Structure formats: C-alpha cells, structure tokens
Structure 1
Amino acid sequence: MDARKSYYAWFIDLVPETAGYSFKCWLPERNSLVSDRTVYPSFDAALIAAKERADLEVASWALSHFLNYVQAKGTISAEERESLAASVMEVAGIG
C-alpha cells in the first residue's frame, strides 16, 4: 500500500518495493513530479530522502528566479548566470 504524506506544498508518495521504499514528490498546482528512483531500506529513510529532494527542488527554483532577476537588472551576464546556476546545481547534486 502506498503512503501519502504532505510536506509544505508537496505531496510525497512512499511506494513499497521488494527491498524497501521509493518516493515520488509532486506539486499538484504545478503538475511537477520528482523522484530519484532509488529504493531505500525503510519507510523512514525514503521519507527523509523525499523531504531532502523537495527542499532541493524549492532551492533550485528560488535560485533560478533570483538569477533571472539579477540578470534582468544587468547585475550579471547571461554567461555568469548559467555558470552560477550550474555550479550550485552540481554541488547540490541535482544538476
């Protein structure tokens, strides 16, 4: 049986697998779905990973909006914006 949890604006579906649990995070109003396609050994481990992934997605969106804003103001160039975004996403492990 799947378990659904809410986390801020996200819904997290925890899906039983043969060797544990996987997760799917989604935002109903955006029709967005993310998953790392990993099977975690326990329900709690999958829930922690799902919350971390949701947090990373929110941080990614916030960074993207901020960089678009400062680029539009002329504070950074398009090349600087892309470089900064790529660096942060690489460090966060979602790029």
Structure 2
Amino acid sequence: MKVQQEDNDKKGEFYIEVEGNRAALMTYTWAGKDKLIIDHTEVNNTLRGKGVGYKLVAASVNFARSKNIKILPLCPFAKSVFDKKPEYSDVLA
C-alpha cells in the first residue's frame, strides 16, 4: 500500500487508493508556511485493523521532517498516534 499526497498550498491530504478509490485518507490544513494542522483521518472498513491509519501519520511525519515544518494533530486519531510514538515528538507544534 502506497501513501500518496495531494496539496494545494492551503489544504492537502495523505491517502491510499485501492482499485482507484481512496480507501484511507488524512486531511490537513496549512497554518502559515511552517505548520500543518491534521484535522481528519478516515479509513474504509475493509482496511481497518491493518495499520493503515498509522501509515498515514508516518507519511505526514516524514513530510514534516523533509520540509522542516511542524504538525498540530487536532484529529483525535492522529493525536493518539503522536501520544503513542514519542519518536514523532520532534515534529509536534
């Protein structure tokens, strides 16, 4: 499963497609030039329990590190992942 990204400089999402449909996605909004606010995560029932949500959060962390930006996880799922993964604390806003 490959995580893809779409971004229009105001909003964006990390997503996974299955058979041409977005089966999992995590949306974010830019807060200035150096911060992302993760506001929603959604995983299709067929992918639940397979760690797909964690893959989306990991993709956002890798993106933040590569761009030297911070993440504010307002989405309850994303926040719970950041709480469980202290190795992601370097990108927290």
Report the TM-score, using the length of structure 2 for normalisation. 0.30
Which of 1 and 2 has higher RCO (CA within 8 Å, sep 6+)? Answer: 2
State the structure with more CA Rg: 1
Structure with the largest fraction of strand = 2
Structure with the largest fraction of helix = 1
